Amino acid sequence: MAAVPVLFVSRKGGCAGWQAALARHTTRFTLHDWASGQSDLSGYRYALAWHPPHGVLKNLPGLKAILSLGAGIESILADPGMPRHIPLIRLVDPDLTGRMVEYVVLHVLLHHRQMTAYLARQREQLWAGLPQPPARVRRVGFLGFGALSRPPALQLKALGFQVAAWSRVAKSDVPEGISHTAGPDALEIFLQQTDILVCLLPHTDETAGLLNAARLARLPKGAAVINAGRGSLIDEAALLAALDSGQVGAASLDVFQTEPLPREHPFWGHERVILTPHGAADTDPEATVPGLIAAMEAVERGQTPPNMVDLSRGY
Ligand code: NDP
Ligand code: OXD
């Protein structure tokens, strides 16, 4: 049986690593790089896409599904020519989730144990302890309760924190010991009851700018903000003002409105900001390829693949 051709479509490069990983797992699918400049694209049945150049996906007449190489799919939806009649499959992968668990638990603990304040004291060679509230009185709140939020929420619950989550729709499968509320009307109270806020929402029309000055003001004074979702969720000027006034005590930021973060951006030098370059959870080709193969095989069999994006809600 001839191998099924798959096209790698990304402005960010990196096809070679995906080709090697795919070849280690299967001969049924072969990966070709759009950037190598082929003229006949009619035979491609699948596209592996991440920040695709606009206009490529609409010129693949044989396409049966688009598979995102990341959990967030806004860069694919931003292509006005993206075919909307075939499945767009987002990445849900245990390896990616594990990395996000590490990032979130690490940063919640950093803020719980007031590490930005201790690092400032270390710079001044100041031997002075701070009050040490136990985890059981610390309220961790997740904005978003999807594939990447639930596992760290459970880990933090197991560490003894009070854990709450807020998302778009009410749920019947909320794990015991975690409180969940949904919808815009519940957001204000959720924020008022959150000491360490973890933002793991996707970028959509509804979430862009969600954390504005008014909402940051709802947090208890000195709350910590962790953003590993998308930079567009937070009004950065409002966050800086809140950090400077002490309304927000400290922040861990992995994602930004402009990436790479411009050199002159005040976040770089802010002593209560812990900054990482959009790497809270990187996609590992070797770990991820089996899931991608399974999704393509499901489509080949005529089945509905898992983790399809609902285009009407944008995530
Ligand atoms: P999911 O689609 O599984 O979950 C998204 C969550 O956001 C859901 O709980 C959903 O609510 C909620 N949500 C969406 N829109 C709204 C809204 N308008 N109001 C309230 N809640 C809303 O996504 P993942 O958990 O897999 O990923 C989340 C995001 O993390 C990705 O979209 C991506 O942007 C980011 N990410 C960042 C990485 C990094 O390295 N920094 C790595 C990977 C992902 P509901 O459950 O009610 O539908
Ligand atoms: C993702 C990301 O969405 O890496 O997977 O940001």
For 278-297, write each residue's pLDDT tens digit.
999 999 999 999 999 999 99
Q: Is 278 a catalytic residue?
A: yes
Give the ligand whose atoms come closest to the C-alpha of residue 148.
1
Atom number of ligand 2 nearest to Cα 278: 6
Q: Is 112 a catalytic residue?
A: no
The finding on whether 200 has its CB within 6 A of some atom of ligand 2 is no
The finding on whether 71 has its CB within 6 A of some atom of ligand 2 is yes
pLDDT recorded at residue 38: 86
Given 203, 278, 301, 313, which residue is catalytic?
278
* Range list of H helices, 203-264: 213-218, 236-245
Confidence of residue 39 (pLDDT cuts 50, 70, 90): confident
pLDDT of 240-280, one tens digit each?
Answer: 999 999 999 999 999 999 999 999 999 999 999 999 999 99
Q: Which two tokens stand for residue 16?
A: 């070679």
What's the mean pLDDT when you consider all of the chain?
98
Atom number of ligand 1 nearest to Cα 92: 26
136 C-alpha to center of ligand 2: Å? 31
pLDDT of 8-37, one tens digit each?
Answer: 999 999 999 999 999 999 999 999 999 999
230 C-alpha to center of ligand 1: Å? 9
Ligand 1, atom 38: nearest CA belongs to which residue?
Answer: 281
pLDDT recorded at residue 162: 98
278 C-alpha to center of ligand 2: Å? 8
The whole-model pTM stands at: 0.98
Given 90, 150, 230, 270, which residue is catalytic?
230
202 C-alpha to center of ligand 1: Å? 4
Q: Which two tokens stand for residue 99?
A: 């990395």
Best of 48, 283, 292 for a ligand 2 pocket test (most atoms within 8 Å of beta carbon): 283
Sequence-distant (6+) residues with CB within 8 A of 198 are: 104, 107, 108, 140, 141, 142, 143, 149, 152, 226, 228
DSSP state of 34: G
